[in-house]
Chain A
Amino acid sequence: MNDDQKLDVAPPYNAVARHGVSPNPSHDEIARFDFLANFNKFMASALGTGNQLAYDNRVLPKFKKEHGREPKDRFEIRRAMNEDPFHLFWSALKRNSMEMRQQNGRAIVLRQIDELNAKARQFNEGRDTLELNPEIEVPRYQSAVDIHCMPGSYHGEELPGDVSAGANYDCGIFATTGGGLGALTDGGGMALVEWIKKERPGWAPRRVLDIGCTVGHNIVPLALAFPDCEVVAIDTAAPILRYAHARAQSLGATNIQFIQASAEDLSRWDDGTFDWVQTTMFLHETSGKALPSILKEGYRVLADDGLMLHLEQPEYHDGMPLFEQFLRDWDAFNNNEPFWSSMHALDMKDEMISAGFDRDELFETGVRAVVDREIFPENATGEGEDHGRAAFWHAYGAWKNASAIQEAAE
């Protein structure tokens, strides 16, 4: 069969690579994720197109008749769409898919939690590259709800000192992204490596800070690409760090120090400590006050000519149709992402300037997941895109005082 004629199906969960603390899925557990990965494709494409049709043919005409005008923002569209039977049914199905992914992942992990904890201990015990600090409080923005409907969130434990939160997070990303992030769910981190090698050939950062690292899937590729670099990865949640550290060690990324710390207080690090400070898909899980303070602290610990980089889904700029903004907002209100909508409405350039950067130091670029295309297909963007989950991100970056340094050198 010609490759071009192939139907768009998700790669099999068997293609997901295993590392030292991977849960070992049974045949049927694999099949559950196979179902969900393909179901989510169906929801984004064949069924997802119905949302636009319902809006164009039913919801918008009704809205205009009632109000005598177009909707003025994504919230008005959401309220109107939440009256529409098609959109409601689609949302109900999608919410179920998200809940099933959590149940399925947790079942895999929790039935073998003792074995997983033992595996993690082998990589964690006695290593100074894992630093947990019980004094660190879980911030309100991480505890108000269980983010993306993940029971227990990142900081929850089923058994004292366990790694279940990390293992569940890690093993189920395949189902929600249809394998779009690759064998180790590290397509984002791989993309960063590819990007920096093109952007600054020959440059090797000495110290990197990864903020809100979760299971470390986006920092391990960077650590492996720059083996002499000292990497610090921080998160407020201990369970996820135990898992992240063991995962990284088992993959040979021994140059990452995982530290339980809040990004709002980086006072243990001096000004200019790092020459790369980044977040990947993290800022939308913070809050209106935390985000600027994280950026400000990040700016402070960043060295001159250092890189700050944030990967997120694209912001809701003025040119983005309100209906697309509404679609991109689905997770905010249906998948426990309470800061998602506000965060994507921020002008990240303004936020970076408030943190200390000059406007001419800023840049934006698109970053597509780097994965083995033989096995893992490229996620659809635009038509058929699974908004909020596409393996294609918007990078907001800046090189600190780069132009001033260049001018001084000249």
Chain B
Amino acid sequence: MTDSAFDWMAAANKKAKGKRPEYFDDPEDERMLSILMAVAGEVSVLRERMDTVERLLETKGTISRDDIESYVPDKNAAYERGVMIREYIYRVMRGPHQMVEELKEAEPSLEELSKELREI
């Protein structure tokens, strides 16, 4: 057991030396995105844990925490779980992903279209 004087949770959060680049005008946005990304990661973790529980229950009926901790997916299950994570990432990242489409073609605003449709 780790010495109680050593707070590994605090230590895990240590900042890397070196000034952090600023990506947004408002520094609060940097913090908000870091929280959002961490939560996005944790939801993925919960989903994977749920998947483990479901797979174990399907084959064993009853399970223990040890079963969850020691679960190793076979090749097929590993792929299915990879697809599950990928699907989750695409859903969560819809906003930024749609920016890519916006970049492909500049679209007229709805206001402009509204004017256009009035005339045709």
Contacts and interface: CB of A to CB of B under 8 A. Distances in A.
A99 interface: yes
A197 B83 CA distance: 38
A106 B11 contact: yes
Nearest to B87: A7
A34 B24 contact: no
A329 to B, nearest CB: 13
B65 to A, nearest CB: 9
A289 to B, nearest CB: 21
Interface of B: 1-3, 6, 8-9, 11-18, 20-21, 23-24, 30, 33-34, 37-38, 40-41, 44-45, 48-49, 52, 68-69, 71-73, 75, 78-79, 81-83, 85-86, 89-90, 93, 96-97, 99-100, 103-104, 106
Given A31-B44, A32-B45, A53-B100, A110 B11 contact: yes
A35 B41 contact: yes
A111 interface: yes
A223 to B, nearest CB: 29
Interface in A98-136: 99-100, 102-104, 106-107, 110-114
A151 B14 contact: yes
Contacts of A102: 16
A90 B12 CA distance: 25
Nearest to A48: B100
A401 interface: no
A35 B78 contact: no
Nearest to B47: A31
B104 A106 contact: no
A389 B6 CA distance: 33
B26 to A, nearest CB: 12
A184 to B, nearest CB: 17
A91 B29 CA distance: 13
A88 B82 contact: no
Contacts of A240: none
Interface of A: 6-7, 9-12, 14-15, 26-28, 31-32, 34-36, 38-39, 41-42, 46-47, 49-50, 53-54, 57-58, 86, 88-93, 95-97, 99-100, 102-104, 106-107, 110-114, 144-146, 149-153, 158-159, 333-334, 336, 375
B107 to A, nearest CB: 12
Given A92-B24, A107-B8, A149 B18 contact: yes
Main secondary structure of the interface of A (DSSP, over half): helix
B15 A151 contact: yes
Nearest to A113: B2
Contacts of A15: 78
Contact of B73 (A14, A38, A39, A153): A14
Contacts of B14: 106, 151-152
A27 B49 contact: yes
Contact of A42 (B52, B86, B106): B86
Nearest to B89: A42
A9 B100 contact: no
A15 to B, nearest CB: 7
22 contacts: A10-B82, A12-B73, A27-B52, A31-B45, A32-B41, A34-B81, A35-B48, A38-B86, A42-B86, A46-B100, A49-B100, A50-B100, A50-B103, A54-B103, A89-B99, A95-B23, A110-B6, A111-B12, A113-B6, A145-B17, A146-B17, A150-B16
Given A9-B85, A53-B103, A159 B6 contact: yes
Contacts of A153: 17
Interface centre among B13, B33, B38, B100 (most CB of A within 10 A): B100
A95 B18 CA distance: 13
A102 B15 CA distance: 9
B38 A27 contact: no
Given A89-B99, A99-B34, A158 B44 contact: no
A11 B78 contact: yes
A95 B2 contact: no
A158 to B, nearest CB: 5
Contacts of A6: 79
A67 B102 CA distance: 26
Contacts of B18: 144-146, 149, 336
A89 B98 CA distance: 13
A14 B72 contact: yes
Contacts of B38: 100
A114 B100 contact: no
Given A57-B103, A91-B21, 4 more contacts: A35-B40, A88-B24, A99-B16, A375-B75
A72 to B, nearest CB: 23
